[in-house]
A and B are shown apart, each in its own frame.
Chain A
Amino acid sequence: MLRRIPLTVCLVALAAALVAGMLVAIGVGSVNIPLAETWDIVTGRPGDPVNAKIIWEYRIPRVLLAALAGAGLSVAGAVLQALVTNPLADPYVLGVSSGASAGAVLVMTLGSAAAGGLGVSSAAFAGAMLAALVVFALGQRRGRLTPTRLVLSGVAVGYVLLAATSYLQLQADPEELRKVMFWMLGSVAGAQWGHLPAVAVAVLACTAGLVLYGRRLNALITGEEPATALGVDVRRARVGLLVVSSLLTGTVVAVAGGIGFVGLMVPHLVRMAFGTDHRRLLPLATLVGALYMVLVDLLSRTVDRPAELPLGIFTAVFGAPFFVWLLRREER
C-alpha cells in the first residue's frame, strides 16, 4: 500500500512525475513545435525567436500557473475539509470561490472604485473571506459548527453570490461580459510571468506553514470537542485556517478564474492513496494537484487544436461525477 511508503520517497516520485508532466505540457500545445527544438529552447540554446517566445513567454508561465493553481486549490480544499470536519467541503461547496468570483467580477465590471479601490486580486480575496465568514456564521448552532448546516449554508451563500455575479454581468457592456465569461469558466491562458511571484509566494508559504501545522489539522478532524481535549484552540485554529484557505482560493481565483472541484477531488484521491495524516497529505496534495491541473490544462488546449477551451469545463466534467461517487460512499 502507498501509505506505507516513506513520505520522502512519495514526494520524490511525485515531484518527478510533476516535472515530467510539465515538460510534456511545455512540449505540446495548440501549436506544434518539434520536441527537439523545444528542448533546445528550454535549455537556453538559441532557436527560432518566435518559437522561443511561444515557449518562454506563453507556455512556461502557463504551465507554472496551472501547477500553482492546482496546488493552491488542492491545499485550500484539504484545509477546508479539516476545518469543517466534512469531507465534502471545498472552496466551491463552501461558497468561498463564489465569493472570490463576486469580488473579482465586481471590480471587472464596475471598476475598482466599486470595491473600495481594491484590485481584482484583492477583491477576490476579500470576497472569499467575506463569503467564508458568512458561511461560518450561518453554519453555527449555539456556537458550535454543524457540518450539514455548514455545507447547506455554503450552498445557499454560493447561490446568492452567483446571483450577485449574474446581476453584475448584466450591468456589464458586451466587451466586459466577454471578459467576465472567459474568466468565470477558468483559464490559465492569460498566464504572464508577472503574475507568478505573488501566486507562488501565497501557495508555497501557505502550504509550508500548513504542513508544519499538520499535527493540529489531524487533531481537528476528530471533531470540535475531541480536538479541544487534545489541546487545540479550535476557534482560533478555525479563524486562522479560514484566512489561509481564503487567501489561497482568492489568489488562485484572481489569476485563473473559476476552476471547480479540484479542491474536492485531489485531497480525497491523495487521502485514499496515501492516508489521512496531514503532514503527508498536504505536501502530496500539493504535487498531485499541480500535476492534475497541468494535465487538465494540456487537455484543454489540445482537444480542439489550435483553439483552446476553458479549464472549468474539464474540472467539472471530471469532478462532478467524483463528487456524486463520494456522496454515495459517505452514506455507507
Chain B
Amino acid sequence: MRFSHALPLLAALCLPATACAAPSASSAPTASAAGRPAPGYPVTIANCGHSYTFDRAPSRTVLMSGGAVGQVSALIALGVEGRIVANAQSYGASDVPGRAEAIERLPKVKINKGSYDISRESMLSLRPDFVIGTTGFDFDAQNGYATRQELLGIGANTWLPDSTCGGPGTIKGTQTIDDSYEMLRELGRVYGVSGRAEELIARSRERIEQIAAKVKDGPRPKVMYVIPGMEMGAAEFSSIGANGMWNDIFAKAGGVNAFAGVTDAVFANLSKEQVARTDVDAVVLINWRNPDPDGEARKLFAQFPHWRAARDNRYVVLSDSAYLGPDNAIAVERIAKMLHPEKF
C-alpha cells in the first residue's frame, strides 16, 4: 500500500501547539515498584488528561512509531539513550552528524508492517517502565496495541505529545518550534536531566535568534515544503506541507510558505495544475527514506521550469531537523542560508 511508509512520519509532523488538557482527577498510580523515590523524585507529568508519576528515571524505555525520530532524537540529545530497551523509531538519515548511526545502534524491535508499531504482546514482553509514542494510534487496542491503561497495569508510564493524545481527528492547530522545546523540557524532567534540557533549549533559542536577526529585513521568498515519495492523499501532490512547524521555521529563516493558504489541513492535497499555478522561489525537500533526494529536486524543477526556484536551482535537502525534535535550529540555519546567502 502506498500510504504505508508515509503515515508514521506524519504523526510526528502533525503535532500542533494546542495547550495540554488539565490533568483529570483520576490520577494514575505510581509507576515504579515499591521503595522510596530516588532523589529529585517523584516527578509528576500531566499528559493527555492524566497525571503520571515517576519515582525514578525510567530505565526501560520503549519508543513507538517506526517512522518518526523526534522522540528518540530528543532522548539521545538529552544523553539518556542508555535507558532505551527497544526503539521502533528509525529514519536512516539525519541532519545531525552521527545521529542516524546513534539511532541505528540502539536496541531494535521488530515492528508490524504497514503500521510501524509494536504489537501488544511484544510490547508487554519488553517489560517497559516507560513507553513513548507519537499519537493515540500507538496505544489503541483496536489496532492491536497495548493501551496506556494496560501499560500502567504492568508499571509502565506512557507519554504522548499532548496535542495528539486522541485518535483520528484530534489534530488541530499549527505547531511551532516551542513544541520541540516543550517535549525536551518534559522528557528532561522525566529522566532527571532538566539542566541538560534547558541548556539545549537555550542554545537552540540563541542560535535561531541570531539567524532571525540577520535575515529580518530581507525579502520573504516563497518556500515549498515537500516530502517526495510520500503520499498522504489521492492527488498527485499530496505531501506538500501547508500548516506545520515548518511555517515557524520559515518565518525564523526569512521565508514564507508558498502553500500555507491553500488549506487548513496540515498537508495540501493538490493536482499538478494547482501546484504549477503557485509561485515557488525555493524548495525545502525532505529526505524521508529517499535514495536520491537531489534527483527528486531535478524532477520537480523539470516539471515546473517557470518557477524562480527552478531557474535558480534553489533548494535544500533536510531530513529530521524540520519537524518536532531537538534540532530545529539546523533547519532554520540551512534554510536561511539558502534563501539569503548574501547575509552569511
Decide yes or no: A189 and B137 within 8 Å by CB, A54-B125, A182-B115, A307-B111 being known contacts: no
B119 cross-chain contacts in A, Cβ below 8 A: 30, 189, 301, 306-308
Decide yes or no: A53 and B150 within 8 Å by CB, A182-B143, A190-B143 being known contacts: yes
B109 cross-chain contacts in A, Cβ below 8 A: 306
Are A178 and B115 in contact, with the CB atoms below 8 A?
A: yes
Decide yes or no: A170 and B127 within 8 Å by CB, A31-B122, A177-B7, A190-B144 being known contacts: no
Are B112 and A57 in contact, with the CB atoms below 8 A?
A: no
Chain A residues proximal to chain B, CB less than 8 Å: 29-33, 49-51, 53-54, 57-59, 108-109, 111, 170, 172-179, 181-183, 187, 189-190, 192, 301, 304-309
User: Is B338 interfacial (CB 8 A cutoff)?
Assistant: no
Are A192 and B11 in contact, with the CB atoms below 8 A?
A: no
B11 cross-chain contacts in A, Cβ below 8 A: 175
Are A57 and B150 in contact, with the CB atoms below 8 A?
A: yes
- The proximity string for B residues 111-136 relative to A, scoring 1 for CB distances below 8 Å and 0 otherwise, is 11111000111101101000000010
A–B pairs, 22, beta carbons within 8 Å: A29-B121, A30-B121, A31-B124, A32-B125, A50-B124, A50-B125, A58-B120, A108-B168, A173-B168, A175-B137, A175-B167, A175-B169, A178-B7, A178-B137, A178-B143, A179-B140, A179-B143, A179-B167, A182-B143, A183-B142, A192-B141, A307-B110
Are B150 and A174 in contact, with the CB atoms below 8 A?
A: no
Q: How many A-B residue pairs have CB under 8 A?
A: 111
Decide yes or no: A54 and B121 within 8 Å by CB, A174-B3, A308-B112 being known contacts: yes
B170–chain A nearest beta-carbon distance, Å: 9
A29, A108, A172, A179 — most chain B CB neighbours (10 Å):
A179
Closest to A181 in B: B1
B167 cross-chain contacts in A, Cβ below 8 A: 175-176, 179
Interface size counted on chain B using CB atoms at 8 A = 39
Closest to B6 in A: A174
A51 cross-chain contacts in B, Cβ below 8 A: 125
Are B150 and A30 in contact, with the CB atoms below 8 A?
A: no
Are B171 and A173 in contact, with the CB atoms below 8 A?
A: yes
A304 cross-chain contacts in B, Cβ below 8 A: 110, 113
Decide yes or no: A174 and B7 within 8 Å by CB, A181-B1, A189-B119 being known contacts: yes
Q: Which of A30, A50, A179 contacts B142 (CB 8 A)?
A: A179
B12–chain A nearest beta-carbon distance, Å: 12
Closest to B231 in A: A174
Please provide the 6 A-B residue pairs with the shortest distance between their CB atoms, ordered closest to farther: A189-B144, A176-B168, A31-B125, A306-B122, A190-B142, A31-B121
B62–chain A nearest beta-carbon distance, Å: 13
B252–chain A nearest beta-carbon distance, Å: 27
Closest to B127 in A: A50
Decide yes or no: A30 and B122 within 8 Å by CB, A50-B127, A308-B144 being known contacts: yes
A70–chain B nearest beta-carbon distance, Å: 18
Decide yes or no: A49 and B142 within 8 Å by CB, A174-B232, A177-B7 being known contacts: no
Are A53 and B169 in contact, with the CB atoms below 8 A?
A: no
A251–chain B nearest beta-carbon distance, Å: 16
User: Is B37 interfacial (CB 8 A cutoff)?
Assistant: no
Are B112 and A175 in contact, with the CB atoms below 8 A?
A: no
B10 cross-chain contacts in A, Cβ below 8 A: 174-175
Q: Which of A53, A181, A305 contacts B110 (CB 8 A)?
A: A305
Are B113 and A172 in contact, with the CB atoms below 8 A?
A: no
Closest to B128 in A: A50
Chain B positions 231-275 with a Cβ under 8 Å from a chain A Cβ = 232-234, 265
B212–chain A nearest beta-carbon distance, Å: 31
